[in-house]
């Protein structure tokens, strides 16, 4: 006969009481497991209880089993952490793309407060990090005096592999002139000067 779970419930202090029984030969084990394990399968709970029993009767074997369980938990944790990081990076990539598309749309300049909020979504430059073509990051420009609540950040767009070494906006200007990167900052909208028919060497159509 095999062991069966006859009782399981969550105790105080986030511990799970589990009782297992075997009919032939009759064997009974009641143990308390760490954490809330009430949603686990009976087979997993039976294995956990028997593992504790083995530890009690054979400490060396119990330690070995515990090490194996810790390795399994570590791999599971690493996998979940990797999946979480991938999801975060995907969201960041979408946010960066949206900010890049709007900031570089000079024909439709952003409201200064929207520009500020947009650049706050982009990570500040990390000293020593190698940025690849099309990557973007932001840096603070403490010398900039705000006039329209546009913030003090500027956006840097990399055109070729570039290692950021903490350069200021002024220091990056030379690289911008060389075409290695682009610097985007908020600019007041240009006033549209209507073009007259005289400037185009044409005549107005009579109404």
Per-residue pLDDT reduced to its tens digit, 137-160: 999 999 888 888 999 999 999 999
In sequence order, the β-bridge partners of residue 130 are 163
pLDDT at residue 53 in the model: 82
Bridge partners for 7 per DSSP: 19
Say which DSSP state 163 is in: E
Q: Per the structure block, which two tokens stand in for 189?
A: 């909208």
Minimum mean pLDDT range among 40-44, 102-106, 150-154, 198-202: 198-202
Contact present, 138 and 119 (Cβ < 8 Å): yes
Residue that the structure tokens 């952490």 belong to: 81
- Rounded Cα gap, residues 202 and 200, in angstroms: 5
Task: Kindly report, residue by residue over 66-106, the tens digit of the pLDDT.
Answer: 677 777 777 877 888 888 888 887 878 888 888 888 888 87
Average pLDDT over residues 156-182: 91
Task: State the Rg of the chain over Cα.
Answer: 32
**Contact (Cβ atoms closer than 8 angstroms) between residue 28 and residue 19:** yes
User: Where are the chain's structural domains?
Assistant: 4-57, 108-184
For the four alpha carbons of 21, 25, 26 and 32, in that order, the dihedral sign comes to negative
Taking the model in full, what pTM does it have?
0.52
């Amino acid at each position: 006969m095999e062991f069966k779970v006859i009782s399981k419930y969550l105790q105080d202090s986030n511990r799970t009481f589990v009782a297992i029984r075997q009919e032939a030969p009759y064997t009974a084990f009641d143990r308390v497991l760490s954490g809330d394990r009430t949603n686990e399968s009976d087979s997993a709970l039976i294995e956990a209880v028997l593992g504790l029993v083995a530890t009690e009767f054979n400490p060396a074997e119990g330690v070995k089993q515990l090490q194996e369980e810790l390795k399994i938990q570590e791999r599971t944790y690493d996998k979940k952490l990797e999946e979480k990081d991938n999801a975060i990076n995907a969201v960041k990539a979408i946010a960066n793309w949206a900010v890049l598309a709007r900031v570089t749309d000079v024909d439709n300049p952003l409201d200064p407060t929207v520009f500020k909020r947009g650049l706050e979504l982009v990570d500040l430059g990390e000293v020593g990090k190698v940025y690849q073509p099309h990557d973007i990051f932001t840096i603070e420009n403490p010398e900039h005096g705000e006039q329209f609540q546009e913030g003090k950040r500027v956006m840097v767009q990399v055109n070729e592999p570039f290692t950021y070494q903490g350069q200021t906006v002024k220091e990056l200007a030379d690289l911008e002139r060389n075409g290695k990167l682009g610097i985007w900052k908020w600019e007041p909208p240009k006033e549209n000067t209507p073009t007259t028919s005289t400037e185009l060497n044409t005549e107005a159509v009579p109404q």
